[in-house]
Structure formats: structure tokens, C-alpha cells
Amino acid sequence: MNNTDNINEIRTIIARHKRWDLLALVAGIIALMIAVLTFIALFGNMVIDGMPRLTWEFFTSFPSRKPEIAGILSAWVGTTLVMLVTAAAAVPLGVAAGVYLEEYAPKNFITEIIEINVTNLAGVPSIIYGLLALGLFVYQLGLGQSILAAGLTLALLILPIVIVATREAIRSIPVTIREGAYALGATKWQTVADHVVPYSAAGILTGIIIGLARAIGETAPIITIGALTFIAFLPPSPVQDQFPFLSFEWLMEPFTVMPIQMFNWISRPQEAFQHNAAAAGLVLVLMTLLMNGLAIYLRYHLRKKIKW
């Protein structure tokens, strides 16, 4: 009798734990569903509001006081140029720093400081970078509210991302590759430049794309350096039809970028401008989704293909 009591007791305990298990499973699925549905609702709403404004003219018109003829020409040109500067500054610096930390750095105090510092920089709010840029680039270096100042600001912001990605990519290269190169008499730099970096290029590229996707959407630091929001002209083209064919005048020009343009439209009370904001937001989201998607695809592919 006592024995069956015990068994029954154990059975109720098991049943209770299984109920909890089921409950946790259902809670997990519901939480995931709520998150997914919220995002779908948000983006659905933006697509409904913004889609009708997404015409060819929207991409080829300057911003305007009349919402129906306003467009994002100066914004996307500005974003492209700022990204050029950002990539030109952040990629060499970030990759070089990553290579140093992974391949050269001795285990000492300074290396440890640099490593802790890179981790901490990644956690600094973006608006702080804006303040740094305002004080350093805009006033002390006298760059003003230019494309160059904005590009450098965003470069500082994504530097930790590029460094961390480079280190991770390099770390996945087996030591045998390096030993092989050394055995043939290659110097350290030859090993790094001819083998380690090229083999980890796809991983580094993934990090660069993720960093640039982050930079494209950053608004706060650009506002902080005092970027104008109403720009109805384009900077001079970098490519000229006369000698020397390349011009760097655009670096010092005032500009606007996509997120600033969107912010500007959101802040207007008229509903028509808010539809413009939705359309600009849609373009912005598609740009970042495309870049991040490419990065995820690259990484997924890497994981599958390369077997050392």
C-alpha cells in the first residue's frame, strides 16, 4: 500500500514538472511570436505609410517645403560620401589594429590595456563620439560640419567592430598555415600579408559590412557635430572631366545623410512629411537589412565551406 502511495506521489511530481516544462516551452514560443509579430506590425505600418512615396522622383529630388515634391537625393548622396570616408579611415586602422593584437602583440601590460580599451569603446554611447567629434574635429582641427568630419566620427564609432571582427577572423586560421610559411623562410610580415590576412579576408569583410551598416543608421553623433538638415544642393562631384580627374573638394562640404533627413521629416507636424519619413525609413531599413543580410550570408557560407 505504502509502495503504491510512493509511486503515485512520484508520478504527481513528474506530472507537475512536465507541466512546468510544457509551460516554459509555450512561454518561449509565445515570447518569440510576440517579438516577431511586433516587428512585422511595425514594418507593415511603415510599408503602408511609405510605399506610395517611393517613386523614382523621390530618389532624384532635393528636400523641399512641399512634402509631395520632396525627395532624398542629397541624403543618399551624402550617406554614400560619408560612408566612403568612414570606410577609408576605419578599414585600414581597424584591420591593422586587429592584425597587431592577434599576430604581433606580446603578452604584456600595454597589450592588456589596448584589449580592455577596445572592449570598453564598443560600449560607449554613440552620442559621446558625437561630443568628441564636436570638440576635436569640428573646432580643434577646424574641419567644420563637413563630410570629412562626419565620416571620421563614424569611423571612430565602428573601429571596435572592425577590430573585433578582424581578430576573430584571424584567430580561425590554423597555426599550421603560419608554420608552413615560416618553414619556407617567410618573414612575419610576409606570412601575415600573403597568407593570414588573405585567408581571413571574408571574415574581415563580414565585420566591415556590419560596421558600415551600423554607421549608415547612426543619427545622434551626426546631429551632435551640428550637421544641417536642409541641404538642397549636392557637393562637387569627386570625379572631374578635366585633369586631375579626381577632386577632394567634397570632403569639406556641408551635407545631410539619410537618418538625419528622416529625423527632420518625423519632427514636422504635417502628416504628408511623416509619409516621407516612412519612405526614407523604408529605404534606410532596406539598406541596413541588405548589408547585414550579406554579412550573415558570408559568415554562414564561410562556416560551411572552409575546412582546414
Residues 125-184 that bind other proteins (CB under 8 A): 125-132, 134-136, 139, 156, 159-160, 163
The answer to whether residue 298 forms part of the interface with other proteins (CB under 8 A) is: no
Verify binding: residue 278, other proteins, rule CB under 8 A. yes
- Tell me the DSSP string of the chain: -HHHHHHHHHHHHHHHHHHHHHHHHHHHHHHHHHHHHHHHHHHHHHHHHHGGG-SHHHHHS---SSGGG---HHHHHHHHHHHHHHHHHHHHHHHHHHHIIIII--SSHHHHHHHHHHHHHHTS-HHHHHHHHIIIIIIIS---S-HHHHHHHHHHHHHHHHHHHHHHHHHTS-HHHHHHHHHTT--HHHHIIIIIHHHTHHHHHHHHHHHHHHHHH--HHHHHTT--S---S-PPPSB-SSTT-B--GGGGS----HHHHHHHHHTSSSHHHHHHHHHHHHHHHHHHHHHHHHHHHHHHHHHHH---
- Closer residue to other proteins in complex, CB, 117/240: 117
Nearer to other proteins, 233 or 300 (CB): 300
Name residues contacting other proteins, limited to 50-89 (CB under 8 A).
none
Q: Please list every residue from 97 through 126 that binds other proteins, using CB under 8 A.
A: 97, 99-101, 104-105, 110, 113-114, 117-118, 120-121, 123-126
Told to check if 294 binds other proteins by CB under 8 A, we report no
In the complex with other proteins, which residue's Cβ is closer, 149 or 216? 216
- Interaction with other proteins in 228-257: which residues (CB under 8 A)? none
Rule CB under 8 A: choose which of 168, 214, 272, 298 binds other proteins: 214
Q: CB of 148: closest distance to other proteins in angstroms?
A: 17
20 near other proteins, judged by CB under 8 A:
yes
Closer CB to other proteins, residue 41 or residue 237?
A: 41
The stretch near other proteins (CB under 8 A) out of 63-71, 171-179, 220-228, 243-251 is 220-228
CB of 288 to other proteins, least distance (A): 5
